[in-house]
Structure 1
Amino acid sequence: MSHGAQMLQTLRDHRPLLLACEAIGWLHMTGKAHPDFLRHHGGTGTQYDDRDWLNSVSPPFPWDAKLSWLLNEDTPWHARLSSHWPATLTEFIRKHRGRDPGILGLLQAAHGMASGIEKNLPGATSKYLSQDATHMWLVSPFGHPIRNLLADPPPLLQPDGWRELLERIEKLLDELAGLGSSPPLDPEPWWEWREHAIGREGWLRQAFLSTLAETRLPNNDVTLWDQSYVAAALFKSAVAGAVLTGQGFEWANNLKQQTRWRVLTVGLGTRHYEARAVKIGDWVGAQRVIEDFFEQVRKLIEVDLALGSLVYRDDETLAFTFPGERDDETLAFTFPGERDDGKGSFAGDQAECLCAAIQQQIDKLAQSAELETPPLCQLSTSTRSFVPMVAELRKVRDQLTVPIARGWTIPNQTPSSAGTRHVCPVCLVRFNEPPASANTENARKSHPCRVCRERRRGRLDAWLAGEGDTIWISEVADANDRVALLSLSLNLEPWLEGEHVDSLRAQSIAQWRRFNPVLKNSSNPIDAGAPFESLRRYVQGKLSVYDRNDPVLSSLQEGYQHENNWPSFFSKIVEDRADAPEWDRLDDEKRVGWLAHQLFRKLPSPGRVHRFWRTCEAFFDELLERFREIAADHANRWRTRRLLLQPSSGGPGSWENRETYLGRWRGAPFEVVYLAERQAFITISNLARCFEAHEDGDALVQASQEETIYVKGDDQQELPLQVKSVSTPDKVGTYAPVIPLERSPRRFRVLVPLDRATACIETAIAKWQEEFARVWDRMPLRIGVVAFPRLTPFQAVIEAVRNVEAALDRQGSETWRVLACRTREGVTSLSLEHERGQELVVVPTRVPDGREDVFYPYVRVEDGELRAPRDFKHPQGYVYRHMADLRPGDGIFVHPSRIAAVFLDTTARRFEPHDVRPLGEFERMRATWELLVRHAPSMTALQGAWSEIEERSRAWRDPDGRWLPGVKKEWLDLVRAILGDRLNVRGAALESLVEAAGRGTLEWALEWHLTWLKTGLEGAGT
């Protein structure tokens, strides 16, 4: 057996141990789920120790008894690991914050990485950050208040919540004991047990998501679930590394400080499947297969091998925790059964060996799924943070730009001798299998291969089972037979890698100085008037000698008291948690800059990085639910209804099973799909275009008897359809007219009716403005809109949206100038100027309990001088300033939110340059249209005015669309005259419209509403 195969088998033999350790990680902070934890830290006088939750019920929770099977002498791990267990398993709960040897030390290392980073502010000097019981708020990682937990408790914190939680935990551990005592070879029972608890809808996940792990500001942004899950993932991987090294890491030597981890990244080139899709069903069907493949990879890593846990996922990549090397040494690796000196460290060459073995396992999963492109596995270096994760994700994505990035065998590439076969028009790598009924050469060429056909069929099967949204674009199309593909993205990666976290404060230096005038019975030496520069000078004066008892440094960082020298402290507080050079590569001035920055910065800890990812996922998930409501909101109930049609016996003798048939009825598209098992059709088009709201399905029966309805299949043969009766189909009787195409933390794509696109965009903007207001300058929302007639080829639509997305991402940060800054009642209003015009930005600058928010609303300013007490300087020299401290004339760096839109009236339009506009321009465009509607006397007058304005605009521009020299002012004067004459607009309204014409907003408003939406003046609000 090869070394790699031997390691895989060792992991499978230890699966019960590793999954039990993961469960211990989930539960070791359960005491924080009791409402008394919040009351105790909220100043109510309630005495509560969250590490003694086992005794919070009577009789005490039987933790040791539930896990006693782990200590059974018959287990594969007992001989090698038994001496490294704590005296009682209860110590995992009572001592998880300590510094112990053995497996307990590995949990302490994992806990320290996942949650300790958030809580390394010494309690004596950070009490002023505490929330009281009346304002115990859980906020998003971007500072948006979510819930006042004691005033408005979630189910977990209500009177029976704690008892119900313990009952479910007891059942969880009983099920674990049942699996662990007689371990099944099949990983499926383990997977089901784990998913039920912590899957997407898992009960433990949902409970812990609803409460806090840390009550002090601003670390009330990380839930109990984020810390527990990440600590469990790290603990699980650390124990897996100990198992693989024979006797474990050097058990007695500072495990908490020296344990490190790697990140295992798995990727698949999903973009190639999207680009080759001929129909929507090809892409969505392939996407389902890829999702299933990713789930199989999860099952392999998380349960079958129990090696690590997922810490990031998008449409192309997965990232898992993985065992790492110790920080202080690299020692020889020994395989189980070989001699080991008790000081094992999971060395790099052995990690690569294990990664290669996992790659082979994943290859088998990909081949079983019949994927055309090979997956990739990549391993990071050892680290104590997730900061390198984004770089690993980018490396994998770069490699995946080549479809066959490494050797890969694709079955069924040789044509059979029977009959003429062509290359599949979808995958382009297999030969197709046209049916006998394909009696023309074009029909044979257009038929997909078996694999691509089954992907389409799998999508149809899921639809018939009632899973998901509609899969039929004809149901999405609006009354004008038009559809919009919306692409929304948030710039998440700079947050995952820590770049944008630079602006967030764990404490304000000025506020820390104000609330700590005395440190260890001596006056605080930091100057309250210029605290940042004073701190830099103070730290620089301390670099010659490392003094653990220094009053300033020990009051700012708990870990300072546990290190022995500056390089060691620097490596953990700076190198592990930022993209910073090593101590030996810096001079004292740069070292001081990094230390002063990191001591007050919110850190991209694993728990917080996990929350960044989840928050962006949740943002798009919630938007999809809202889009469903918006798209389904229609005066005609038939907009969301389907019918099951029983054809008359006199129809054709054989309809093609699962074939779609296209026809017209009452002048509108009428489409159905035939199901042989039901000997009936199901409608798959927008019935609101055929039925009046008051009609019932019998109108179709009567119409088919009076006038023959003809439909065509893929062979274009016209067939008569006579309907005998109608009813409501099971499971799919109603639908929401949206088709999600992609939903990941990086991007959200969805098809919606074009006439509902405006409301969807406005909803997305409003939600973004509410939830990301404090970080608006560095968490931009980018929206791409591709509108098209229903019959536009899907490949053209996808290419257009990719071009729009590229245009949105192409531009970097901009410098915006402050025109005015006003703060009133906890809200700061910024009037800003940029090259495309002006913006008004409203930012909450107060936390819910009334205190000023000194943690989130900072911007990077153009000048490098420290001016206000809250200013601070990044080690690279640029300055961050609180938004309330800005003055007119200040230049700030902004990653702007943008929107770009294109209407594919012809497929060639996708190649034209896209006009990328500030996102605020969409709201101004809508306001411009509302102004026109209020003043335009008729649609004829409005269209006439637009026609004349547009004609002159074209005549006075060069072939590239640029204004001829000196004519724009004259054109604006002409616009003023036309609007005044044709629409009778006067005064401020006229000047607003002329200003909109100068920005291009007037033209956009007219084109959007009159050409794209075909809106009448009476439909302005749609």
Structure 2
Amino acid sequence: MTGFQPPDTLRQHRPLLLACEAIGWLHMTGKAKIDFLRGHGGQKNDYEYEKWDEIESPAFPWDDQLKWVKDNFTLNRDAWPATFTEYIRKHTKRDKGLLGLLQAGHAMASGIEKNLPSATAKYLGQDVTHMWLSTAFGHPARNLLADPPELLTESGWKRLLEQIVQLLTVLQQLGKNGSPNDIDGWWRWRDEAVGPEGWLRKEFSSTLAETRLPNNDVTLFDQSYVAAALFKSAAAGAILEGSSFPWSSNGLKQETRWRLLTVGIGADHYEARAVKIGDWTGARLALDEFFINVCKLVEADLAVGSLLYRDGETCVFSFPGERFGHDKQGYRGGDLQIAEWQDWLAEQIDGYASDANLEMPPYCSISEPSRSLVGMTAEIRKARETMVVPVFRDWRIPDQDSSKGHVCPVCLVRRSPSVTDKQMPCAPCKARRTHRLDMWLEGKFGSDTIWISEVADANDRVALVTMNLDIEPWLDGTRLDALRTQAISEWRKFNPILKNQPNPIDPSTCCDSLFQYIKGKLQSFDKTDPVLSNLQEGYQHEKDWPSFFSKIVEDRADSPQWKDIDESVRAGWLTHQLFRKLASPGRIYRFERQAEDFFKALLAEFRDIAAADRNRWRVRRLVLKPDNRSSGSWEDRQTYGGRYGDAPVSLLYREQTEDFLTICNLARLLKPEQDKDCLRGITLELKADDSVDAKPLVVHSAADAADALGVYHPVIPLDLSPVRFRVLLPLEAASACVDRAVEAWRDQFARVWDRLPLRVGVVAFPRMTPFQAVIEAARTIESDLDGIQKPETWRVAGCETQKGVTTLSIKSLDHRQEILQTIPIRVPDGREDVFYPYLAVEDNQVRFPLDFQHPNGQVYRHAKDLRSGDGVLLYPSLIATVFMDSTARRFEPFRRRQLTEWPRMRDLWRLMGRHAPSQSALRGAWSEIVERRDAWQGADGTWFEGGKTAWLDFARAVFHERLGVRGACLEMLVEAAGDGLLDWSLEWHMSVLKEQVSGLPVRGRTQTGGDR
């Protein structure tokens, strides 16, 4: 589509659009000053965050910094406000022009989160002693005034202003004097500010955008970044509409809509075909570079949108959308030419994929217009469903039809240059392997290794740990149904008078009374209604019920259309939405960031756990210089393997320095007390990866590797995104890492544990197991664990509340499984948490003051109000473990277990470690018990009549006589034997981890990540 002109139009306005984005980032900068929090915490001051620039000495020079934009882009006379300070002063108002578009973006990212007027919601405020920033799921993260981050100090504020001045200075230099083709310059400018490691991202993520409960879950960065993305796309849409855009309209705040641009690539197919781990990690780098090129095109080159979501195979950007009531007489025939845009973008993106020699075609789609991001998950799902087929549309790659050489064993498409070696990859696949090696040698992987031989533990075993948080239903808003922005009973209590009139809602039946009140008001639209104006500030600006319903319900939930439902259903949806935490763009962005940050924090801890070892050689590398007696030539950057005694040795040859770098677990070669000089003079018989002939290497000297290559963490991250976390670890450290993940999940997500399950898979395998088999096993486990799309019903066995914590005991309907869960029900200042800890119950009747009902009939009940016998619906947290002693194990069914059983399983091993006199005694006792179990069970595993009871009595006697266990410990072992947990514990620790009970300490963790 070489004749398509709109991209050139946007490129001509690139400085304007990126300046708009910068204004969006900075329009709430005043909230980053500690005076903002103090003022909202009840400490009297005259600080107005919209006027922070005036009180600086000298005043912050907004107009001086940005005047060049207005001078260079005149636009319509109504497009520009009188001064640039109006973007700061009036971002919550209703104006025309570009200011109106910023207000539209701000309202979507910030305004709908509050969901209530400030004047009547003071009871939700925090005070200066408890000004807490919480996570997106209600866990208190930091008391900002008692323990302020550096940003909220005087020096932090001054540094922030200096950085903002520098940001705007570089913006001006690029806009006025920079080359129009300097896309990389614009990209670096954005990335340094708001990229994954951007300074503005870090600073604004440390403080609040909204101080009231429960909206203290969204940071200043979340609101600012999303508002900037929406402002930028709205401004791009206005530029594309040209002279037909209604710059003079004061209704832009309410009328503006956006689309979503989704780009994807079938990353899973590359992973599934990888012959070696380097094939997948190399392909991952190629895919990352592809996505970076896409981001550069959308965010910097065209400046048409900003990245709102990214995982391993999809990216979603903001994109311009037509306004409400658009008359179809605008730019180029009445719309934004979305079909033409999609074709043009697909053509550009195809070019990036072709340049990267990608074997799969990219996916490109632009959504329907909306005023929210709740449709983002559906767009991502549509992309994944399309990309399930590797080549879902016509796609040709170079050398695909060549008849020379063997088919490449990696991509299975191109031909390798060799006609004899069937294992030799084609040139692009080989280049991906070497590109990964180049980056590692340059230190671009940080402290992480890329060598599985360094990850392997003392038994030459590795674990692939995979986790996910089932975050996608939060991104489309469906799991927010159980969260409250305020409780109806609390609202009624603290708002007895509305507009000088008694609140008409009956305090004894708040939920039903409000429903009946709203239903009675649907006959006519009264924008002065005291109840509805109080519950939703935007209500008074609407013209009729369908318009209000479309914004509050249809755009923010998966709901039916106004015209398709009766008044009872309409009233039910409005009652629900007016008190529900809404899936605002800022909050959705926060959800995905929170999930990814959770995994990033775990990865940092896993590095420390995996690296802890008594033997200092475990995480070190040496440089070995060959003796002149070493025969033959060595290939540059080739890996060579051999053995020295019982230890495997892996080395990388570097031609430039004529030496070998160790890339194996040196703790298997050297004892802690040994010196590297003991390797001098030894002879190693080495073979290249793809060779059968060995060559001797006589070591002349050994020295510590220098710089970043000297010390490493024995972990290989394979995937880290909001939806999935995969990492390779030493098997001996895997249990401690899972322990930490379970502990962190139970702590940070305790208020939403029933709706945000953690699913964990562990694939243990010997180092030499083919990588394809390992990945296939991991994918099978993931598919099985993630296959539970509907909640399970469990029965409450007990519920006790003490000191702000509810302890809940629930059992599965077959009584075979039990979960003991603690749920915090207070916020840090001592008030009851009426926002997060609600569970879906079987009962469809509203019985308690805090109960509320979804329009589909589902009742949600506060944790403290649950009673024995109540049925609760929850999404289970699960774990599955497998040891691949053979590649055939990936075809066998995996047993999934409740995640709460993992700590019990680990505790059983500690218990046996304290009581079993020896490893042989434990094996003998269990062998005897299993032999009797097999005898008393049929071939299908069913018990003969009375067999299980008799077998448990027999097990009790054996544990008592052979292991000396008594009392409660004895009963714990018998119970674990009956439910299969003891089998799991013994198999995992003795057979897989090869741990010994005789030397097992009692508490804590050893330096190798085990227990002590």
Distance 1:703 1:454 in 2: 34
**Which residue of structure 2 lines up, in the alignment, with residue 971 of structure 1?**
951
Q: What secondary structure does 2:331 align onto?
A: coil
Number of aligned residues: 994
Q: What secondary structure does 2:778 align onto?
A: helix
**Which residue of structure 2 lines up, in the alignment, with residue 223 of structure 1?**
219
Query: How does 1:561-960 map onto structure 2 within 5 Å?
Result: 561-704=540-683, 709-730=685-706, 731-811=708-788, 812-834=790-812, 835=814, 836-960=816-940
Would you say the 8 A contact 1:644–1:680 is kept in 2? yes
Distance 1:524 1:44 in 2: 30
Q: Give 4+ residue runs of structure 1 displaced > 6 Å after superposition.
A: none
Give the aligned residue type for 2:605.
Answer: R
- 2:103 aligned with 1:108: yes
Q: What secondary structure does 2:609 align onto?
A: helix
Give the aligned residue type for 1:385.
Answer: S
**Which residue of structure 2 lines up, in the alignment, with residue 356 of structure 1?**
343
Distance 2:344 2:945 in 1: 67
Distance 2:689 2:770 in 1: 17
Query: How does 1:406-421 map onto structure 2 within 5 Å?
Result: 406-415=393-402, 421=405
Would you say the 8 A contact 2:638–2:688 is kept in 1? no
- 2:316 aligned with 1:319: yes
Would you say the 8 A contact 1:827–1:843 is kept in 2? yes
Q: What secondary structure does 2:5 align onto?
A: helix
Would you say the 8 A contact 1:643–1:726 is kept in 2? yes
Query: How does 1:163-174 map onto structure 2 within 5 Å?
Result: 163-174=158-169
Give the aligned residue type for 2:144.
Answer: L
Distance 1:549 1:82 in 2: 35
Would you say the 8 A contact 1:137–1:220 is kept in 2? yes
Distance 1:998 1:330 in 2: 71
**Which residue of structure 2 lines up, in the alignment, with residue 1019 of structure 1?**
1000
Instruction: Report how far residue 952 of structure 1 moved.
Output: 3.3
Alignment CA distance shift 1:668-1:964 (3 Å): farther
**Which residue of structure 1 lines up, in the alignment, with residue 413 of structure 2?**
429
Query: How does 1:374-453 map onto structure 2 within 5 Å?
Result: 374-415=361-402, 421-434=405-418, 441=420, 444-453=421-430
- 2:474 aligned with 1:474: no
Distance 1:664 1:901 in 2: 31
Distance 1:598 1:259 in 2: 21
Distance 1:825 1:297 in 2: 52
- 2:109 aligned with 1:132: no
Q: What secondary structure does 1:741 align onto?
A: strand
Q: 1:148 aligns with which of 143, 162, 180?
A: 143
Q: What secondary structure does 1:312 align onto?
A: strand
Distance 1:964 1:461 in 2: 63
Structure 1 window deviating more from structure 2 (691-700 vs 952-961): it is 952-961
- 2:371 aligned with 1:372: no
Structure 1 window deviating more from structure 2 (464-473 vs 279-288): it is 464-473
Distance 2:934 2:236 in 1: 69
Aligned-residue CA RMSD in angstroms? Answer: 1.5
Give the aligned residue type for 1:46.
Answer: N
**Which residue of structure 2 lines up, in the alignment, with residue 339 of structure 1?**
none
**Which residue of structure 2 lines up, in the alignment, with residue 211 of structure 1?**
207
- 2:264 aligned with 1:288: no
Give the aligned residue type for 1:366.
Answer: A
Would you say the 8 A contact 2:27–2:87 is kept in 1? yes
Distance 2:44 2:937 in 1: 74
Instruction: Report how far residue 807 of structure 1 moved.
Output: 1.4
Alignment CA distance shift 1:237-1:270 (3 Å): same
**Which residue of structure 2 lines up, in the alignment, with residue 71 of structure 1?**
70
Would you say the 8 A contact 1:71–1:82 is kept in 2? no
Instruction: Report how far residue 964 of structure 1 moved.
Output: 5.2
Give the aligned residue type for 1:216.
Answer: R
Distance 1:55 1:964 in 2: 85
- 2:95 aligned with 1:118: no
TM-score with structure 1 setting the length: 0.96
Would you say the 8 A contact 2:682–2:698 is kept in 1? no
**Which residue of structure 2 lines up, in the alignment, with residue 340 of structure 1?**
none
Would you say the 8 A contact 1:234–1:321 is kept in 2? yes
Q: What secondary structure does 2:642 align onto?
A: strand
Query: How does 1:151-190 map onto structure 2 within 5 Å?
Result: 151-184=146-179, 185-190=181-186
Q: Spell out, residue by residue over 1:484-541, the C-alpha distance to the aligned partner (whole angstroms, 9 max, x if none).
A: 1100110101100000011110001111111112222222111112210111011111
Q: What secondary structure does 2:154 align onto?
A: coil
Distance 1:315 1:902 in 2: 25
**Which residue of structure 1 lines up, in the alignment, with residue 965 of structure 2?**
985
**Which residue of structure 2 lines up, in the alignment, with residue 464 of structure 1?**
441
Distance 2:475 2:106 in 1: 20
Would you say the 8 A contact 2:244–2:330 is kept in 1? no
Instruction: Report how far residue 967 of structure 1 moved.
Output: 2.8
Distance 1:224 1:274 in 2: 37
Structure 1 window deviating more from structure 2 (1001-1010 vs 959-968): it is 959-968
Instruction: Report how far residue 460 of structure 1 moved.
Output: 0.7
Give the aligned residue type for 1:97.
Answer: T
**Which residue of structure 2 lines up, in the alignment, with residue 338 of structure 1?**
none
Runs of 5+ unmatched residues, structure 1: 336-343
TM-score with structure 2 setting the length: 0.97
Instruction: Report how far residue 623 of structure 1 moved.
Output: 0.4
Q: What secondary structure does 1:421 align onto?
A: coil
Alignment CA distance shift 1:737-1:578 (3 Å): same
Would you say the 8 A contact 1:118–1:603 is kept in 2? yes
Q: What secondary structure does 2:223 align onto?
A: helix
Structure 1 window deviating more from structure 2 (593-602 vs 964-973): it is 964-973
Runs of 5+ unmatched residues, structure 2: none
Distance 1:712 1:449 in 2: 19
Q: Spell out, residue by residue over 1:37-77, the C-alpha distance to the aligned partner (whole angstroms, 9 max, x if none).
A: 111111110111111122020111110111111122xx4x4
Instruction: Report how far residue 433 of structure 1 moved.
Output: 1.7
Distance 1:963 1:791 in 2: 40
Would you say the 8 A contact 1:249–1:345 is kept in 2? no
- Identity %, equivalent residues: 57
Alignment CA distance shift 1:561-1:819 (3 Å): same
**Which residue of structure 2 lines up, in the alignment, with residue 341 of structure 1?**
none
Instruction: Report how far residue 1002 of structure 1 moved.
Output: 0.5
Alignment CA distance shift 1:160-1:891 (3 Å): same
Instruction: Report how far residue 800 of structure 1 moved.
Output: 0.6
**Which residue of structure 2 lines up, in the alignment, with residue 262 of structure 1?**
259
Give the aligned residue type for 2:906.
Answer: R
**Which residue of structure 1 lines up, in the alignment, with residue 268 of structure 2?**
271
Q: What secondary structure does 1:985 align onto?
A: coil
